[in-house]
Amino acid sequence: MTQGPTPALYAARGPDDLEVARIRKELEESRCIVVAGRTEDWWPHGTGPDAEDVRVLLGADRARADRQPTPERRIRFIVSRLMLRATAGALLGADPALFEVAYTVTGRPYLRGCDELDISVGDCEGLVAVGLMDGGRVGVDVAPLQPPPLRLPSVEHLLTRHELDRLHAARPSARHPLLLRFLTLKNSYAKAMGSGRRIPYADFGVATDRDGCHLMGKDGRFYVPGFGAASNNFGSTHLISATGVAKSG
């Protein structure tokens, strides 16, 4: 079986904490990386940024920042754009201020003028993660590790029979972490493909074995080539799942 691009996760406490040589090497080898950091580390300014800061930092993205429903969401949005620019600049050896985030007709972000470098953003309660992939599609999803437990009957329609069987076979204490992993991996794949929920989540599954994560049909019997995924805890607070999908041909 051909291994797909498996995202590598790196934590960074700010632009100066990016391990440039390491992430460049990882992008060259695996083609897909995820950089994550806490908003308080990337924006240690106490209250939110003033209007002039936002204008300089975000440019055309200022309007999107202003539409965020809460101050905390606004700062997360700003940090996500800072992190995208800083990581792309470190990878490509360019001034981060030169990168402009634009959007497809479906709202999916991309870096204008960087056609081969795909991007994705995930954020949740004080944490931001950005994914970058060379020559493919990447999706990132972030979730808190300790939300109120998800009730299986309310999400059964999002899972394949194979995934439901795995959940029922798991120890009770392991079911919520496994369910969270399934759902965030599915979310990351949907973001990578730009499909949202247009592809029913019960029509595809995520399986793991000694070779890593694989995308499977809903019957659990076949693998989809060119797919790689990873799901890792960020400290004790968040789960980050990412998917890389290689271009065919």
**pLDDT by residue (tens digit) across 109-160?**
999 989 889 999 999 999 999 999 998 999 999 999 987 767 777 888 999 9
Domain ranges of the chain: 8-246
DSSP H helical segments within 49-171, as ranges?
Answer: 51-58, 62-66, 71-92, 152-155, 161-169
Q: Which two tokens stand for residue 43?
A: 């924006």
Q: What is the pTM of this model?
A: 0.90
**pLDDT by residue (tens digit) across 149-177?**
677 778 889 999 888 988 999 998 888 89
**pLDDT by residue (tens digit) across 63-74?**
888 899 998 898
Cβ neighbour number for residue 239 with a 10 Å cutoff: 20
User: If we measure between CA atoms, which residue out of 248, 7, 28 comes closest to residue 131?
Assistant: 7
Q: Which fold has domain 8-246?
A: Ribosomal Protein L22; Chain A (3.90.470)
